[in-house]
């Protein structure tokens, strides 16, 4: 039998909702472009020009993603109560809250929250850290591969041969570069690419898990989780745990 709705609560403020959907859209586009880069040969994309174009489009979408993420990180310090890092990142007393929450699920009487439940807090923390790793490694590779901001001009200056203007150095073109310095930069950028790609696989897994858990929680516990990210309001059938804490 369905439980009766007790009350509707304001959960997510507007900046948090805007962040969520801009992040959702840009991450999907970045994954799509990233997979195109990975499988370009299978798709018959072989020219250097096309390769650079794919990377450039990925980087331009990446800037929107990074800016949105940076605003959200800042908002986590000044924004609405349920969007704040201190209420999301696990801290003092977290293990106790998590085990009480898991216990309530086992007992068939899941505790309800206006903000994230303790498992959701862990998920958001891991997702945010992964997104930050993608942002940092992506920005470094945007600099080393196509000399785009914020690090591109520094990397170009690093590999420019004596007397060459770094602004004239082109992606995937050795003209004007110092062979030794270019080799050193190539060794430096390798690990950033490796972390970028493996974190993107992890993120793809997290996204699927996130969607599965949100839909499952919505069906089992109610609360209108999906529509709450659009309207900002959650409808709960019990007194929430995190209203006065």
For ligand HEM, the binding residues (CB under 6 A) are 27, 30-31, 34-35, 37-38, 55, 58-59, 62-63, 65-66, 131, 134-135, 138-139, 141-142, 145, 193, 196-197, 200, 203
Nearest distance from residue 173's CB to ligand HEM, in Å? 16
Nearest distance from residue 180's CB to ligand HEM, in Å? 22
Nearer to ligand HEM, 37 or 157 (CB): 37
Count how many residues are written for the chain: 245
**Vertex 186, ends 30 and 27: CA angle to 5°?**
10
Nearest distance from residue 198's CB to ligand HEM, in Å? 10
Nearer to ligand HEM, 15 or 193 (CB): 193
Nearer to ligand HEM, 33 or 88 (CB): 33
Nearer to ligand HEM, 59 or 228 (CB): 59
135 upstream amide cis, omega within 30 of 0: no
Give every CB contact of residue 174 below 8 A, 6+ residues apart in sequence: 182
Nearer to ligand HEM, 161 or 204 (CB): 204
Nearest distance from residue 53's CB to ligand HEM, in Å? 12
Nearer to ligand HEM, 8 or 194 (CB): 194
Contact 9, 236 (CB under 8 A): yes
Question: Measured between alpha carbons, how far is 205 from 86 in angstroms, rounded to an integer?
Answer: 26
With b meaning 16 or more CB within 10 Å and e meaning fewer, what string describes 185-209?
beeebeebeebbeebbeebeebbee
Nearest distance from residue 30's CB to ligand HEM, in Å? 4
Nearest distance from residue 166's CB to ligand HEM, in Å? 18
Strand (E) or helix (H) holding 235: strand 233-236
């Amino acid at each position: 039998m369905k439980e009766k709705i007790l009350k509707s609560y304001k959960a997510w403020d507007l900046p948090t909702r805007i962040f969520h959907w801009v992040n959702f859209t840009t991450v999907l586009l970045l994954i799509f472009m990233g997979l195109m880069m990975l499988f370009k040969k299978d798709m018959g994309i072989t020219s250097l020009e096309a390769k650079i174009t794919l990377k450039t489009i990925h980087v331009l979408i990446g800037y929107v993603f990074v800016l949105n993420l940076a605003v959200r990180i800042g908002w986590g310090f000044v924004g609405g109560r349920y969007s704040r890092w201190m209420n999301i990142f696990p801290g003092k007393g977290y293990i106790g809250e998590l085990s009480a929450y898991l216990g309530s699920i086992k007992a068939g009487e899941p505790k309800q929250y206006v903000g994230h439940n303790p498992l959701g807090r862990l998920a958001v923390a891991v997702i945010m850290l992964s997104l930050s790793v993608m942002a940092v490694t992506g920005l470094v590779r945007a600099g080393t591969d196509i000399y785009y901001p914020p690090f591109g001009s520094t990397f170009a200056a690093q590999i420019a041969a004596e007397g060459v203007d770094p602004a004239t150095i082109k992606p995937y073109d050795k003209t004007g570069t110092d062979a030794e310095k270019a080799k050193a930069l190539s060794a430096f950028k390798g690990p950033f690419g490796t972390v970028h790609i493996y974190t993107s696989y992890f993120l793809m897994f997290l996204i699927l898990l996130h969607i599965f858990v949100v839909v499952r929680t919505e069906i089992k516990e109610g609360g209108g989780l999906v529509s709450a990210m659009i309207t900002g309001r959650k409808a709960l059938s019990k007194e929430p745990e995190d209203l006065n804490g």
